[in-house]
Chain A
Amino acid sequence: MDLEIGTFPVRRVTFGAPHEWSGGTLIVDPTVLSDLVLRDPRIRRVTIDLVAPGEDTRIIHIRDVIDPRVKVSGRGHVYPGVAGHPPDTVGDGVTHRYEGFAVMICSEVLPHIRRTVSAATDSIVDMSGPGAVTVYSTLRYVVLTLETQPDLELAEWNEALRLAGHRVADALAALLRGLDAPSRQRFALPKPETALPRVIHVHTLNASMVPGIGTGIYGFTPHALPMLLHPNEILDGAIAGDAVVGYPGKCTWLHVNNPVLPAMYARHGHDFAWAGCIVARTRWGALQDKQLSAYQTVKLAHMLEAQGALVTWNHGGNDLIEVMLTIQGLERAGIKTVFLTIESDIKVVRMTPQLAETGVEEPPLLFSVPEADAIVSTGTLAPAEPLPAVSRVVGGTEIVFDQERPDVRVPAGGPLDLEALSGAYSPIFGHFDNYGLGAQSYHDY
């Protein structure tokens, strides 16, 4: 596979007509975008806001973040298999994208869905201040705040929100179709000229225990046995988030901007030969299924003659069992592993220098094996300060921090002491930063 990505930087976004990208300025027409979204009768109302980094703004009820991309040549459609896009294999040809800009979907979770899916938590993105620790505080957004029909069932609600987001992203990405990209980069995995160790990326990805939602591979969301992806497929959106399980920081934007991929491309042919990405789904309900998934991942890595593996994950909790069983199996098969992970589970714990030094009160990794002896940390879940009040809130007005107490609603614009307020999960969107995009490490090496 051979993919060229043309990048169009966005330094300013304004409302206007018609839509246009020119010299770093993106003009968006809110009337056109509203009409596009309201074509779906499941959406009752949409509000469109522009948000930029550094503003005294808090975005709430984030359901997904989409990086607008368009295939200029080559087979298929970016983000295949979701929002009506065909499931053709992607990863070849030319794709155009913006840099520093995304479409964000916000919608308060419907009460009956909040009751059935605990992971449909409320989340926040602060664009400045002590809460602005994730990569999502650094992007410019067109934010769609959506009000759906109130009686939509879970899968329908997810589809409606996601379709709205992708329709807008596709419309804005289409502006780049005929333009010359200011910068281009080629992605391919040519056979190295010299013998180099073969390395696999074991890309474990959570599948929701609730049917019909969750991170999808070409839109396919259920638990499934491991499969092999070319990283180019991922750059073209073969892995996409949903609009329900935003916790603990899963979204569509993340997968096409996963820093693991460019880091691995940069070393392919120099330090190692990259054998591709084994996608293994996590959060199987039965131990035997966790074992099977781990063992089949190891088998695939072995058949691909891997000598080393970078293991990543994108969730928390019991998913770590199959991740650790995979690491154990790989090591026992003679495949050296490095595990990339955030250092704690998902609860908010305030960081102090003493805590950073000793880690004594930090929730540890839920499960580990002795073979996991090379782990790279991407940081912790630790906002240094309570979050101050903000002058502008986008996406809604109130937040429920603890899913077990949905009647406790907090005004979103006020000061927020996350450690005191939050329940099981950190509400900072993207806080569970398993790929190291944010600024959450206490000490960078």
Chain B
Amino acid sequence: MAVISALPPLAMQAGANRVVQGVKIEHVCGDPSLPSDADKALRRRLVEQALRALGRDVEAPTLVDIA
């Protein structure tokens, strides 16, 4: 499992295995203040990060940092 979370410390304390840093609480996976193309690119990047995180072996709740 991978979670995109605005608040990774909270997700990790709750026991999420792989956590990807989202944008903010109001809009975790995207940013409506960006032009729609940039927002779309950001959303795609976050989802791809989460998908790549799924391929990572972890022992404990981990913030997966994949640029």
* A residues neighboring B (CB under 8 Å): 209, 285-287, 289-290, 318, 321, 325, 366-368
Which B residue sits closest to A368, measured CB to CB? B13
Chain B residue with the shortest CB-CB distance to A325: B9
Q: Across the interface, do B6 and A366 meet the contact criterion of CB distance under 8 Å?
A: no
Closest to A291 in B: B9
Q: Indicate if the CB atoms of A367 and B24 lie closer than 8 Å.
A: no
CB-based contact B13/A367 at 8 Å: yes
Cα distance A325–B7 when bound, in Å?
12
Contacts of B6 in A (CB 8 A): 285-287
B9 touches A286 (CB 8 A): no
Instruction: Verify B26–A287 contact, CB threshold 8 A.
Output: no
Question: Do A321 and B26 touch (CB < 8 A)?
Answer: no
Beyond known contacts A285-B6, A287-B6, A367-B10: 20 more, CB 8 A cutoff: A209-B25, A209-B26, A285-B24, A285-B26, A286-B23, A287-B7, A287-B8, A287-B9, A287-B21, A287-B24, A289-B24, A290-B7, A318-B7, A318-B10, A318-B25, A321-B9, A366-B10, A367-B9, A367-B13, A368-B13
Q: What is the chain A residue whose CB lies nearest that of B13? A: A367
Please report B residues at the A interface, Cβ cutoff 8 Å: 6-10, 13, 21, 23-26
Q: In the assembled complex, which residues on chain B have CB atoms less than 8 Å from the CB atom of A285?
A: 6, 24-26
Chain A contacts for B10, CB-based, 8 A: 318, 321, 366-367
Q: Which residue of A lies closest to B26 (CB)?
A: A285
What CA separation (Å) do A209 and B8 show in the bound complex?
A: 20
User: Least Cβ distance of B40 to chain A in Å?
Assistant: 20
Name the residue on A nearest B21 (C-beta). Answer: A287
The 22 listed contacts between A and B (C-beta, < 8 Å) are A209-B25, A209-B26, A285-B6, A285-B24, A285-B25, A285-B26, A286-B23, A286-B24, A286-B25, A287-B6, A287-B7, A287-B8, A287-B9, A287-B21, A287-B24, A289-B24, A318-B7, A318-B25, A321-B10, A325-B9, A367-B9, A367-B13
> Please, how many angstroms separate the alpha-carbon atoms of A287 and B11 in the complex?
12
CA distance A75 to B64 in the complex (A): 54
Residues on B with C-beta less than 8 A from A318 are 7, 10, 25
Residue of B nearest to A366 (CB): B10
Instruction: Report A-chain residues with C-beta under 8 Å of the C-beta of B8.
Output: 287
Distance to closest chain B CB from A289 (angstroms):
8
User: In the complex, what residues of B have CB within 8 A of residue A367's CB?
Assistant: 9-10, 13
Chain B contacts for A289, CB-based, 8 A: 24
Rounded to whole angstroms, the CA-CA distance of A366 and B25 in the bound complex is 15
Which A residues lie within 8 Å of B7 (CB)? Answer: 287, 290, 318, 321
- Which residues of B are found within 8 Å of A287, using beta-carbon distances? 6-9, 21, 24
CA distance A289 to B23 in the complex (A): 11
- The residues of A that contact B24 with a CB separation of less than 8 Å are 285-287, 289
Residues of A within 8 A of B23 (CB): 286
CB distance from B4 to the nearest CB of A (A): 12
- Complex CA gap A186/B10 in Å reads 44
Residues of B within 8 A of A366 (CB): 10
**A290 to chain B: closest CB distance in Å?**
8
Q: Which of A287, A289, A366, A368 has the most CB of B within 10 A?
A: A287
The docked-state distance in angstroms from the alpha carbon of A290 to that of B9 is: 11
Sorted nearest first, the 6 A-B pairs with minimum C-beta distance are: A286-B24, A285-B24, A285-B25, A285-B26, A367-B10, A287-B7
In angstroms, how far is the closest chain A Cβ from the Cβ of B57? 25
Q: How far is the CA of A290 from the CA of B6 in the complex (A)?
A: 11
Q: How far is the CB of A174 from chain B (nearest CB, A)?
A: 43
B15 to chain A, nearest CB (A): 13
